A and B are shown apart, each in its own frame.
Chain A
Amino acid sequence: MHITEELSERHVLSITVTNEAGILAKIAGLFTARGYNIESLTVADISDNHQVSRITIVTNGPPRVIDQIIAQLDRLVPVHNVADLTANGPFVERELALVKVAGTGEHRIEALRIADIFRAKVVDTTTTSFIFEITGPTDKINTFVGLMRELGLVEVGRTGIVGMVRGRD
């Protein structure tokens, strides 16, 4: 007997929640308990009275599963709203990464040149290393990190994405 899986699509979910202890565990735990995937997850307080946080989750699954994920999140008591940015039309997604690259000579110069093309900022430097700060959609950061791999990549830290629907609403 073999186990088969359905085709998945990637969705960015933006969830507003009451900022209470355990809410992140509740949401992350829902994903593991029901066998859903988390590609990335970001969370931060977004209200001036510290009552509400926004959690952005990138997940993947067949459309039926995505619909279930939204319904399951929506019924948690502390969840205010779940928006499927991918389904709700054009949206902006951004991620920030710190990328440390070590090297000298031609590799070092090439790293700087590529950083310039990607509009990455140098936020730390020694004579043999840089830390670049880069923001953008996930693809752009993947490409940048891929190029740096050939030029002395030491380590990468990424925030995971935040997203927002385009337009005034």
Chain B
Amino acid sequence: MSELSGADILLQCLVDLGVEVVFGYPGGAVLPIYDALYNHPTIKHVLVRHEQGATHMAEGYARSTGKPGVVLVTSGPGATNAITGITDALMDSIPMVVISGQVATHLIGSDAFQEADTVGLTRHCTKHNYLVKSPERLAHIVHEAFHIATSGRPGPVVIDIPKNVQVATAPYERPDLSSHVSYRPQVKADPALIEQAVAMIAAAERPILYTGGGVINAGPEGSTLLRELAALTGAPVTSTLMGLGAFPASSDQWLGMLGMHGTYEANMAMNKADLIVNIGARFDDRVTGRLDAFSPGSKKIHIDVDRSSINKIVMTDVGIVADAASAMADLIAAWKKAGHKAADLDEWWARIAGWRARKSLAYPNGGAEIMPQQAIASLFNATKGRDCIITTEVGQHQMWAAQHYHFDAPNKWLTSGGLGTMGYGFPAAIGAQMGNPDSLVVCVAGDASIQMNIQELGTATQYRLPVKIFILNNEYMGMVRQWQELTYESRYSESYSDSLPDFVKLAEAYGWTGIRIEGPQELEAGIAQMIETPGPVMVDCRVAKLTNCFPMIPSGAAHTEMLLDPSQISGTLADEAKALV
């Protein structure tokens, strides 16, 4: 058999695995791979401006297409720059494979130029990682890495390839991955537990479906099955930040997002429920609030593909280790087989109607300034009915987008949930646009967050990607400022965005279109112009500076202790609450 270089083996593996796009940045230790990529017939390489950008682009690509995102970086700083995005993908269960160059095997450990212990550095922020010591091992490792990244609970996998392994040759044969000695994720639920769960759902008087990113990760089928399960049981549905879109926001059964900035009705329903069915969520601290007051009167069913998520934070009555779609299909089949009908939940829905009547997402409007919530609502109205993907950075704008943009389909909402990475949204939008060339991709950003990866403006220009950046500019790190107002008597320590660039001129410098929206009367026209302008557009939307994001459960508080409006802010918190993030 003829032999291929390690670099050619790697590319042949990527082709065999169906990889179409690689986000990367060249450097000394990956030159052989870049040479193999030169004029490659099928693999498209996107040259980023910073490796962190590459990782978030890969995340955006993965989250919007369901396919794994692929990153290629050099050794040393290339790899260390990628670490934030790798950690982000781990926290949000995003399938991603990061290929890093490494110094030649005989130089490892010698503090060679651009050497870093990439496998050591990424050990705890990857699902798995590899150092490839010979070209003979490469094909098996690459195929296995994609299998691990995409199966079970998805996550990032790093493959560190020394430069001499990229150059040395070996025969290539597509490896057989039929059995792994130790990695066998459980995707099919225990039937006995499914029956138990169905009986509990049928008997519940105040059930609620609490869904998360696991439903999205289960593929389009997950969303379809969730809709069917909700229809069969008649139960209200709420979702975490990561799960938005899995259930249509236009449904009567939708309560909105739950948690720290969730709706009053979602959090109250969680608190008063007699049964919580958690499907693919992980009882994150943003969701539960104070644990000893979390849904005290309910039984809990928890479906998660990662067994370590079950009983990690909240003790459950029935823990089902399974893929969300597979478990929901089983629940639906068992429900029908048992001949259950949706219980009479009229009383429960009447209570929910009472909580809804509080209109927790309402905000004062009609003043001289643009309310940021109104900016999102206008964006939603202008893009309704279009194939639109929304990405966000992290902060107030992210929460307002989650509250006021209403998703009816999965894979249309890309945000950094677990790690809360400022700088995620813009590169994620570029990645999403690469995977969905015909979609309208809008990054909702804040004036501070957008600056964290603003260098990627050039990437969008280079690949003619018509992404739109919609900046809610309040000249603050708004969420930091909000917490300082709540907790530290409005001592705004370092949260003012001084020396902001002129975003319109900045856009123009990169060949983009820049638009400034300064008042409510310009809002709708400005958004329409953003959508209609071909090519990339950056919008500097000036919004009310001191608006806070409500409703809010302060740290250390229970679901029943939501703050609904500014009059409830005291300006101080107990030390116990201050110690929480």
Contact = CB atoms under 8 A, between A and B. Distances in A.
Interface SS, B side: loop
B120 interface: yes
Nearest to B311: A67
A68 interface: yes
Interface stretch (A23-31, A128-136, A160-168): A23-31
B308 to A, nearest CB: 4
Nearest to B182: A80
Contact of A75 (B123, B308, B576): B308
Contact of A78 (B120, B182, B311, B579): B182
B124 A33 contact: yes
A30 B131 contact: no
Contact of B182 (A1, A25, A71, A79): A79
A1 B580 CA distance: 12
B126 to A, nearest CB: 10
A84 interface: no
Contacts, number: 46
Contact of A21 (B131, B312, B576, B579): B131
Contacts of B131: 21-22
Interface residues of B, number: 22
Contact of B120 (A25, A30, A51, A80): A25
B307 A18 contact: no
B364 to A, nearest CB: 37
B177 interface: no
B181 interface: yes
Given A18-B182, A67-B311, A75 B119 contact: no
Contacts of A1: 575-576, 579
B93 to A, nearest CB: 12
A76 B185 CA distance: 11
Nearest to A68: B312
8 contacts: A22-B120, A22-B123, A29-B123, A29-B124, A75-B308, A77-B127, A78-B182, A80-B181
A93 interface: no
Interface of B: 119-120, 123-124, 127-128, 131, 148, 153, 181-183, 306-308, 310-312, 315, 575-576, 579
Contacts of A79: 182
B307 A74 contact: yes
A71 B576 contact: no
A67 B120 CA distance: 26
Contacts of A64: 311, 315
A40 interface: no
B307 A22 contact: no
Contacts of B128: 76-77
A68 B308 contact: yes
A143 interface: no
Interface residues of A, number: 23
Nearest 7 CB-CB pairings of A with B: A71-B308, A1-B575, A77-B128, A80-B182, A77-B183, A33-B124, A72-B308
Nearest to B575: A1
Interface string A7-31: 0000000000110011001100110
A79 B307 CA distance: 14
Given A18-B182, A77-B182, A79-B182, A30 B308 contact: no
Given A78-B182, A80-B182, 14 more contacts: A1-B575, A1-B579, A18-B181, A22-B120, A22-B131, A25-B123, A29-B124, A33-B124, A67-B311, A68-B308, A71-B308, A75-B153, A76-B128, A77-B128
A75 B126 CA distance: 12
Nearest to B579: A1
Contacts of B575: 1
B172 to A, nearest CB: 22
Interface of A: 1, 17-18, 21-22, 25-26, 29-30, 33, 51, 64, 67-68, 71-72, 74-80
B140 to A, nearest CB: 13
Nearest to B183: A77
Given A1-B575, A18-B182, A68-B312, A26 B123 contact: yes
Contacts of A25: 120, 123
A33 B124 CA distance: 8
Contacts of A67: 311
Contacts of A22: 119-120, 123, 131
Contacts of A77: 127-128, 148, 182-183
Nearest to A70: B308
Contacts of B127: 77
Contacts of B153: 75
Nearest to B307: A71
Nearest to B312: A68
Contacts of B312: 68, 71
Nearest to A77: B128
B178 to A, nearest CB: 17
A86 B123 CA distance: 29
Contacts of B576: 1
B316 to A, nearest CB: 12
Contacts of A68: 308, 311-312
Nearest to A1: B575
A54 B427 CA distance: 43
Nearest to A74: B307
Give the residue among B120, B127, B181, B308 with the most A Cβ atoms within 10 A.
B308
Nearest to A22: B119
A77 B311 CA distance: 21
A63 to B, nearest CB: 10
A74 B181 contact: no
Contacts of B120: 22, 25
B108 to A, nearest CB: 11
Given A75-B306, A77-B182, A80-B182, A30 B124 contact: yes
A122 B124 CA distance: 44
